[in-house]
Chain A
């Protein structure tokens, strides 16, 4: 694919060396502000139509559903910043949910942390496989993860063999973990928040994170600058896989019913969340905060449709339209920035 080599605005949140940088940073904050604005309008409108929308139960459901999507979106953002994509996350979620489910089914006494570690391990293994094929095969992540999307899902079906794990076969403490709160914050939301904050800080302020942006902006330049592009590529996929594994555990805890189809089709929503949140498909820009906000927006849209009594089938169409809108907006910003940079250069 010829990814349009537009002048993608380089993200450098918080670091404002020159005036130009400042303006670019402002543009991106504008993207996130735009999502927040859309969220506020959507929530306000839906609430006026049906006050139930802002009930504690409804807000809690939205946050719980966002938590799973946001964890996936953080992983996706990490991969997309390096100019790759991971379409296999829905299948990794399914595989890890089933692995965790069957482990707990057989060993009722295992603590939640063991379940989480299992999910992370399964996911990281899948991610390592993706990353290794992309790195050593020198083939596009799109094709590799399109392949593993089906291969991992197939493996889950093989393993499950049409069986389903029901809530009554899972230990009570695990299900309570999926639906209970600590200090008023549901565990799932807390975990998603921790993932967001840690990933956000690492990407923003640590060398490992900045290297991913550099790779996404220009792989050749990154290589010349001594960045270990191959190793970092694998690392990004391992992170995405591991987070999909975490999402699988959260999914199992939240819904209690797990079959091989768990998380089927999630990859679309995850990519949409990241893209809508300002992560460019051609790498080098975007933040996990944006991806998290994108996840929240998509979830709220879903809930609003239900509350407004609109055909649920509109949701997928809206997801598609949002992806197109978001990449169109990115293109517009890129063209504007390129123009303004040109103008500035000519004045100097």
Chain B
């Protein structure tokens, strides 16, 4: 059954979904630079990177979570609650140096609560995180109401919005690149990463192989919450505005980017470079369309449709390949 000989090389290359996404992303970047006015400007490039930062950050642990066959829909609410608490603590006069670590701890605790429900009580992660999506967002409003806190220290806000050496690359890209490298190495080059894929491919088999699946998933949720908390802190500093509705609905963009990047919603499959390409593709499309004066609501249509396409297309490709194989063998 060696289908390698019968299938042309270009097809197997094309069929590698994450490779295809990387190619499409580069194509979209090139086309947008040529066709969309101001897209190529360094100012817009900075904004593009700043816009994709929170999605990219949260997508890193989300990749792990989805590869294990679970999901975390509460990330955007975690971001919002962290932001609201940050504003409230700042209002109470705590120094920012204390607030930021507290917010990160808060994010980790919120993630741990998800992890507890999913791994200790063995509840379905979809239902749990729909519940905490509502709970965390609700608590954010309880903490801060619909007011906004804006007077964060300039040193911090200007660092987040500033660029390296006054160029086009924002400072906050540094922590993102570092984290992306760490997450990528862990996923693709360590036993932890192999455990994650094994747990997603078959939880039972992974357990028989000696992988302690439940603790693994628990810590993935903790990391997911922690990173969402970090995204909340950076979001607040970037816009210099702590609000309970910060990041509202962002879980869609994150899940869309991860699936677009070739991670299977059924678990066990995906690569981090693919996910990062998915994030860039989504952000680039949104940025280019926004420059063309397309409304935010229309952008949501684009994200929603991309999400559906990104789950449909791999299935279609698989069926297409199976049909080709059948033809080749008969």
| Chain B 289-310 near chain A by CB (<8 Å), digits 1 or 0 | 0000001011111111111100
B127:A147 contact, CB within 8 angstroms: no
- The SS class assigned to the A binding surface is helix
A334 to chain B, nearest CB (A): 10
Evaluate contact between A323 and B127: CB separation under 8 angstroms: yes
Q: Mark A67-103, 1 if CB is under 8 A from B, else 0.
A: 0000000000000000001000000000000000000
Interface mask (B56-97 → A, CB under 8 Å = 1, otherwise 0) = 000000000000011100000000000000000000000000
If over half of B's interface residues share one DSSP class (helix, strand or loop), that class is named, otherwise mixed; here it is helix
Q: Convert B110-131 into 0s and 1s, putting 1 for each residue whose CB lies closer than 8 angstroms to a CB of A.
A: 0000000100011111111011
Distance between B63 CB and nearest chain A CB, rounded to angstroms: 15
Complex Cα distance, B298 from A157, in Å, reads: 8
- Which of B126, B138, B300, B311 is within 8 Å of A139, CB to CB? B311
> How many whole Å from B54's CB to the nearest CB in chain A?
18
Contact status A146-B122, CB under 8 Å = no
Q: Which residue of A has the minimal Cβ distance to B301? A: A154
Q: Which of chain B's residues 202-219 have a Cβ closer than 8 Å to chain A?
A: 203
- How far in angstroms is the closest Cβ of chain B from A49? 20
Contact partner, B307, options A1, A137, A147, Cβ 8 Å: A147
Tell me how many residues of A have a C-beta within 8 Å of chain B: 48
Complex alpha-carbon distance, A2 and B205, angstroms: 14
A348 within 8 A of B: no
B48 within 8 A of partner (CB): no
Cβ–Cβ contact B307 & A143, under 8 A? yes
Question: Contact check: which of B134, B145, B203, B298 meets A320 at CB < 8 Å?
Answer: B134
> Are B121 and A331 touching (Cβ within 8 A)?
yes
Contact A327 B131 (CB under 8 A): yes
Pair B128/A151 contact, Cβ less than 8 Å: no
Which residues of A are interface residues toward B (Cβ below 8 A)? 1-4, 6, 85, 133, 137-140, 142-144, 146-151, 153-155, 157-158, 260, 268, 271-272, 275, 281-282, 311, 313-324, 327-328, 331
New contact pairs (7) apart from A143-B308, A323-B127, CB-CB < 8 Å:
A2-B69, A138-B315, A147-B304, A150-B249, A157-B297, A316-B137, A320-B136
Closest 10 A-B residue pairs measured CB to CB?
A320-B135, A317-B138, A154-B301, A316-B138, A320-B134, A157-B297, A150-B304, A323-B131, A313-B141, A151-B304
Q: List 23 A-B contacts (CB under 8 A).
A: A1-B71, A1-B265, A3-B124, A3-B126, A139-B312, A140-B265, A140-B266, A142-B265, A154-B297, A154-B304, A157-B297, A281-B126, A313-B138, A314-B138, A315-B138, A316-B135, A317-B134, A317-B135, A320-B135, A322-B131, A323-B134, A328-B117, A331-B121
